[in-house]
Structure 1
Amino acid sequence: MKRKVITTKDGSKTIHLEDWNESYHSTHGAIQEAQHVYIRQGFKKSGLQNINILEFGFGTGLNAIITFLEAKTLPKSINYTALEAYPVSKKELEELNYLESLNDDSLNKVYKLMHDSPWEEFISLSNKFTLKKLRMDFRELAEVNQYDIVYYDAFGPRVQPELWTREIFTKVFLAMKENGILVTYSCKGSVRRALLECGFKVEKLPGPPGKREMLRAYKPITGLKC
């Protein structure tokens, strides 16, 4: 599949898949989308001191590095697990400009370590942030009661509808702890219905620049309905 690095409207870059006409992040602003959807509406909504995060779609590592940056100023300990079936190439990473856009030179070493570190094992990025990358298909997830926050950042349901189904969200529901939070940029009706069918409580929220709405879902204490 033909890929190229493009510049989004906030000046930050992303990877565009030309055959699908789909990008890793919003073309209206890659960093703005990550900060709005995953940090403000997800990470910052947890009052926990020790947080286990699961990301569906490690990709460029943007959500991970922004979470790391946010956590630097907070009294929180983060265990961050990210699933990715098709890692980004070294050449593509060299073309991205997230660290320049975030204006924090201290992130250079951390971002490089995120991508260079071995798969399938936790590595320490600071005294309060660990990362584990799992090279696997989302549908292979089999963990139970592990995660407080889920960043659901798969390619959109238009191009990969199989990743936005009741089957997938059942696995996500099982992997989350009670009162856990799931956030995603998608607000498609079929996605919302699939989440509801699995027992999530779902709310629509204002979306990031260029998108009217997004979804946030909670796993209640009542248990699985699927």
Structure 2
Amino acid sequence: MEPQIELTKDGSSTLLHTKYNALYHSTYGAIEESNFVYINAGLFSVLSSETEQDVEQSCSILEVGFGSGLNAFNTFLKTEALPVNINYVGIETFPVGLDIVEKLNYPELFSKTDKQTVFKTMHEVSWETKHHLSSQFTFEKRNHDIFNLKISNQFDVIYYDAFGPGAQPELWTAPIFEIMFEALKKNGVLITYCAQGAARRAMISVGFKVERLPGPPNKRHILRAVKV
């Protein structure tokens, strides 16, 4: 059953997954949440921690919960003018149909209608294959169970944007965070909107150093976990 489109308080679209009765983004602002959590507290914290050099940086990103494509598209837009090469991998168990994608309003609200093709391409391209969306942005979608992920020391950042513990509690336990820990490089960062105590303790139990950060509107805290 296709997800339903809803508008959030900043005017941007989110989706409601009818099976889990779970929203893909905050109702208080989908784009605002993406900027606050994944770009500023996640990606930019990693890029700014790198030693400043005159050479291009590279950054590998894993998104757990590709969903609407908002975080991937936002990352593309925020990095296209920066001296950084992005390798982006999004994992999604429930791909969103193109008929729904075409109704999402992210390119318009970012004032990037000229990038509409990029957003649509992210959803149209084949799965399990690397694609070059620009000279500095490599993109891949994987449609499989995250518990089957077998990657070691590959990613600099993980956008952990799975449905919340109320919908999918198994995705907020020690076994899943052990997989995430293994997938990150040393000093890599996992960033998530969820600040639930049980999830934080599960992250700590597998070796993450976890900090609570102030959250976006109507969200007291978010979590940033570092592989030390």
* TM-score of the pair, normalised by structure 1: 0.94
Q: How does 1:85-100 map to 2 (within 5 A)?
A: 85-100=93-108
2:161 alignment counterpart: 153
In the alignment, which of 203, 209, 218 is matched to residue 217 of structure 2?
Answer: 209
Identical-pair percentage: 48
2:128 alignment counterpart: 120
Query: Could you tell me which amino acid in structure 1 is paired with residue 130 of structure 2?
Result: F
The alignment partner of 2:102 has SS state of helix
Deviations 1:121-155 (A, max 9, x none): 11001110010101111111111010000000000
Q: Distance in 1 between matches of 2:175 and 2:19?
A: 26
1:224 alignment counterpart: none
Q: Distance in 2 between matches of 1:160 and 1:127?
A: 37
1:12 correspondence with 2:12: yes
Query: Could you tell me which amino acid in structure 2 is paired with residue 90 of structure 1?
Result: L
2:89 alignment counterpart: 81
On the 8 A contact 1:85/1:136 being kept in 2, the answer is yes
Unaligned residue ranges in structure 1 (runs of 5+): 221-226
In the alignment, which of 185, 198, 203 is matched to residue 206 of structure 2?
Answer: 198
Q: Distance in 1 between matches of 2:3 and 2:119?
A: 22
Deviations 1:162-192 (A, max 9, x none): 0111000000100110000110000000000
Query: Could you tell me which amino acid in structure 1 is paired with residue 29 of structure 2?
Result: G
Q: How does 1:1-226 map to 2 (within 5 A)?
A: 3-18=3-18, 20-47=20-47, 48=50, 49-220=57-228
The alignment partner of 1:46 has SS state of helix
On the 8 A contact 1:2/1:19 being kept in 2, the answer is no
- The CA deviation at 1:99 is 0.7
2:53 alignment counterpart: none
Deviations 1:83-137 (A, max 9, x none): 1111001121122111111111231111111111111111001110010101111
The alignment partner of 1:156 has SS state of coil
* TM-score of the pair, normalised by structure 2: 0.94
Query: Could you tell me which amino acid in structure 1 is paired with residue 10 of structure 2?
Result: D
Residues paired across the two proteins, number: 220
Unaligned residue ranges in structure 2 (runs of 5+): 51-56
On the 8 A contact 1:56/1:153 being kept in 2, the answer is yes
- The CA deviation at 1:3 is 3.1
Query: Could you tell me which amino acid in structure 1 is paired with residue 25 of structure 2?
Result: H
Query: Could you tell me which amino acid in structure 1 is paired with residue 138 of structure 2?
Result: T
Q: Distance in 2 between matches of 1:156 and 1:2?
A: 19
